């Protein structure tokens, strides 16, 4: 693998002309959100799917698990292709494929075929993660983090809105309509991506040949030490964030809350503050303060768990404030970490994004695995201690002087 790196802040070669990001960003953001939304449809639909397709509870639950597995496979095998093939064409093809697969999911006659279609939808839904480094490629250095933040806001909002949209439309028109409507929107968006986004060229070198591409992706953390810390910090932060996602529901279904599923879902909309804040965090990163944004985000996320401690006694106000702090902190951390990684090797942004996101979600899996047993053994106090400790480790790692 060649170790020649482009100058920091340089754009990868291959864009035809100087694109207007103000024109293309809305299309990229919409496409990114729609691309990932299908991975979250099944969560509020599990009861309907179990009844209408005669699925067991275990099989219905597997719909969610298959989505996560499929997304991981797409990150590993499809996203790196953006360093070899034109990102516009690759993104449009993946969006169109996701649309077609959603149509198939919508006509699935049984649970087995729905599982298969859902898994394939998740694999191709990584078109969103092709668009994120493409936004970096299209942007001038002084607006790169802000533009990446805008597209990432679409990714985050897609998951958030996907759940709410799925439940609301299924109540009105049945669960199949959720898949069909989104499929049509995705196919239209794929066409818009081809028409609106600027033409780009691939980077066909020995390093980006299919076999070499996978090898060079896997070797990045070994051969590019500057990636290790931001990736590790982001993975730890995602572990703590997932503890929050898992245990908030466990807290609110028990006394003294005993809230309904719809009420808990409404509280979850507090998470929308994260996507809204993402471009603002990017502005400060663009002004040359990525480390300050990173540390502020990690500190805010850690302090949130202290703020939320009284929630065990029914203090919902402190819970909401803490949730806002966690989402703001997570957004700041993600933008700073991701853009720091992108600047290390601009010509390898797709491979870097594949590594970053794979380990980011691996951190989330770790947090999701740790949260239930800690909750069972120690309750809310134990969960706050666990997530606070994870945040402290991440903050210490980020704050230490850089030695590569």
* pLDDT of 6 strictly over 80: no
Average pLDDT, integer, range 271-280:
83
Q: Report the pLDDT value the prediction gives residue 4, as an integer from 0 to 100.
A: 36
pLDDT at 11 over 50: no
Average pLDDT, the chain: 85
**In terms of domains, do 93 and 174 share one?**
yes
Give how far Cα 115 sits from Cα of 103, 104, 105, 194, 225, Å.
13, 11, 8, 30, 39
Which residue, 381, 357, 92, 87, is CA-closest to 217?
Answer: 357
- Please report, for residues 8, 292, 294, 352, the alpha-carbon distance to residue 141 in angstroms, rounded to integers and kept in the order given: 9, 18, 19, 18
Flag whether 84 is in a domain: yes
For 178, the token pair is 């959720």
Last residue of one domain, picked from the residues 178, 204, 230: 204
CATH number for 268: 1.20.1250.20
pLDDT digits (tens, 9 = 90+) for 152-195: 888 888 887 887 788 778 888 888 999 999 999 999 999 999 99
Q: How many domains does the chain have?
A: 2
Residues 139 and 257 in one domain: no
Do 197 and 277 fall within a single domain? no
- 98 close to 35: Cβ distance less than 8 angstroms: yes
Residue in 260, 225, 234 with CA at minimum distance from that of residue 362: 234
Q: Residue 235 pLDDT > 60, yes or no?
A: yes
The answer to the question of residue 11 being in a domain is no
Q: Binning pLDDT at 50, 70 and 90, where does residue 111 land? A: confident
Task: Answer whether residue 146 is part of any domain.
Answer: yes
The pTM for the full model equals 0.78
Going by C-alpha positions, the residue among 137, 182, 132 that lies closest to residue 28 is 132
Find, among 99, 391, 383, the residue nearest to 252 by Cα. Answer: 383
Same domain, 268 and 386: yes
Dihedral of alpha carbons 292, 351, 227, 368, sign: positive
In tens, the pLDDT along 52-106 reads 888 776 677 677 668 878 888 898 889 999 888 889 999 999 999 999 999 999 9
176 and 98, same domain (yes or no): yes
Enumerate the H helices of 78-138 as residue ranges: 87-106, 111-124, 127-138
Determine the pLDDT at residue 53.
Answer: 87
Domain that holds residue 119: 21-204
Taking residue 74's Cβ as centre, other Cβ atoms within 10 Å add up to: 25
The reply to whether 48 and 131 lie within a common domain is: yes
pLDDT band, residue 306 (cuts 50/70/90): very high
Residue 345 is predicted with a pLDDT of 87
180 SS3 class: helix
**pLDDT for residue 285:** 92
């Amino acid at each position: 693998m060649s170790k020649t790196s482009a100058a920091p802040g340089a754009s990868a070669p291959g864009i035809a002309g100087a694109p207007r990001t103000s024109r293309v960003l809305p299309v990229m953001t919409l496409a990114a959100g729609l691309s990932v939304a299908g991975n979250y449809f099944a969560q509020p639909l599990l009861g309907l799917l179990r009844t209408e397709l005669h699925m067991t509870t275990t099989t219905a639950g597997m719909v969610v698990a298959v989505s996560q597995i499929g997304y991981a496979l797409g990150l590993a095998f499809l996203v790196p292709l953006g360093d070899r093939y034109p990102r516009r064409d690759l993104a449009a093809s993946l969006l169109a494929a996701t649309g077609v697969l959603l149509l198939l999911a919508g006509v699935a006659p049984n649970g087995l075929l729905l599982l298969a279609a859902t898994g394939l939808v998740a694999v191709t839904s990584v078109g969103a993660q092709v668009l994120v480094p493409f936004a970096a490629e299209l942007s001038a250095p002084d607006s790169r983090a802000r533009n990446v933040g805008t597209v990432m806001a679409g990714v985050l909002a897609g998951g958030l809105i996907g759940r709410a949209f799925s439940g609301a439309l299924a109540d009105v028109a049945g669960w199949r309509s959720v898949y069909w409507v989104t499929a049509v929107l995705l196919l239209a968006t794929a066409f818009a991506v081809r028409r609106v986004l600027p033409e780009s060229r691939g980077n066909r070198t020995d390093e980006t040949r299919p076999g070499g591409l996978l090898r060079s992706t896997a070797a990045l953390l070994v051969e590019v030490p500057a990636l290790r810390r931001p990736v590790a910090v982001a993975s730890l932060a995602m572990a703590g964030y997932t503890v929050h996602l898992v245990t908030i529901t466990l807290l609110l279904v028990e006394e003294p809350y005993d809230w309904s599923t719809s009420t808990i879902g409404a509280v979850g909309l507090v998470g929308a503050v994260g996507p809204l804040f993402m471009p603002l965090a990017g502005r400060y990163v663009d002004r040359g303060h990525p480390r300050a944004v990173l540390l502020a985000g990690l500190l805010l996320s850690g302090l949130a768990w202290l703020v939320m401690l009284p929630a065990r006694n029914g203090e919902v106000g402190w819970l909401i404030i803490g949730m806002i702090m966690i989402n703001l902190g997570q957004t700041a951390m993600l933008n700073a970490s991701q853009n720091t990684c992108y600047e290390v090797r601009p010509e390898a942004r797709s491979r870097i994004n594949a590594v970053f996101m794979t380990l980011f979600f691996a951190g989330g899996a770790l947090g999701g695995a740790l949260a239930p047993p800690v909750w069972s053994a120690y309750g809310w106090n134990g969960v706050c201690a666990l997530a606070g400790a994870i945040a402290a480790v991440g903050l210490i790692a980020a704050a230490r002087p850089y030695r590569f």
